[in-house]
Amino acid sequence: MRLRLFALTAFCSLPIITLVADRVAAQQAGQQVQDAQEVNVYSYRQPFLVAPLFEKFTTETGIEVNVIFAKKGLIERVKTEGKRSPADVILTVDIGRLQAAKAVAQPVASAILSKLIPDNARGADDKWFGLTWRARVAYVSRARVEQADLSFADLAKPQFRGRVCLRSGQHPYNVALFAALLDHMGEARFKNWLTGLKANLAGRPSGNDRAQVRKVYGGACDIAIGNTYYMGKMQTNEKKPEQQDWAKSVRVMFPDMPRGGAHMNISGMAMAKHAPNRANAQKLMEFLVSDAAQKTYAEVNFEYPIRADIEASARVQSWGAFTPDALSLTTIAQLRRRASEIVDEVSFNDGP
């Protein structure tokens, strides 16, 4: 049986995940769909990341997973679809996007989710739940950076003038980091720090996280900021072996926040407010925090499992140990808007 993933912009073949477009259209039109052994997922997570998980779920339960994938616009789509939306589960990354998903989510009362997901990794109203942790770290040149310790405060010091690479200051990953630093520093100090970081940039912010590591490899800068899992993806990318060379040129450092600890963000899930397959949706959500799924996240996606009793993979552990920042994700979400405004106030994306 040939299965397909439906993207908002294009059809993409994938031998694991399926979405039958006419079935979704029928649900949107309010028609009855006879086969109840299914669950519909709207996913911001890339297909290759979720495919192994959904394959395991279908094998164990017999419930078919239908997936719509898009880089943006899914939450707005659910809002527009309203009560006729076929969406059951929303998968996304970044605390800001999880908070935004609350507008189209419903609470889920699950003893399994409450037991396995720590309090600081789920919404107080049970409308969103974390699945994995990721740290935002420094990728530093092995050849040109000798120091063993680094803090985010250091990155604004004159010694790093012209040596730092970063993607857009308005990207959600950076906005979350800046929101955390805003809480740690207070507004005046944070604004001064961000101005100093801007002065230390090697050029105008551009590209994705992996592109920053490529710039370190090419000598354009000495320190790049990115999420941890990109190291694993570069190290194991056999289709693009040049990325393995990028990875070899850097080492991972976990810069301390001003009050200590490494900045952490999250990927997670929510149940859509009008989920037509609510029981199956809850089964999928509970499966995603099971031993099997969490180990898959650890081994395949190079992320830190949300569950404290599941270890990160040996590869991920090889990047180093760290203490997570204790700052609440809710606090980060609340400060994102002001952090984003300050990014514009200092014209951060104009570069040095």
43-75 pLDDT tens trace: 998 877 788 899 999 999 999 999 999 988 999
Q: How far apart are the first and last CA of the chain?
A: 54
| CATH 3.40.190.10 segments of the chain | 4-133+265-310, 135-263+316-350
Give the per-residue pLDDT at 300.
Answer: 86
Written as one letter, the residue type at 33 is V
Residues 6+ apart with CB under 8 A from 158: 200
Q: Which pair of tokens denotes residue 58? A: 């279908």
DSSP-derived secondary structure letter, 104:
G
For tokens 């189209």, name the residue: 104
d(CA 160, CA 210): 20
* pLDDT for position 33: 47
Residue type, 128: W
Class of the domain covering 4-133+265-310? alpha beta
pLDDT confidence of residue 26:
53
**What is the pLDDT, as a whole number, of residue 103?**
95
Q: How far apart are CA 340 and CA 265, in angstroms?
A: 16
* Regions of the chain where pLDDT drops below 70: 1-36
pLDDT of the residue at 21: 42
Tell me the H-state helices in the chain.
Answer: 21-28, 47-61, 74-81, 95-101, 111-116, 172-185, 187-200, 209-218, 229-235, 242-248, 278-287, 291-300, 314-317, 329-345
Q: Which CATH superfamily is domain 135-263+316-350 in?
A: Periplasmic binding protein-like II (3.40.190.10)
Q: How many CA atoms lie within 13 A of 87 on its CB side?
A: 29
Phi, psi (rounded to 5 degrees) for 74: -70, -40
pTM of the model: 0.87
What's the pLDDT score for residue 101? 95
Q: What is the pLDDT of residue 25?
A: 52
Instruction: Kindly state the greatest CA–CA separation across the chain.
Output: 66
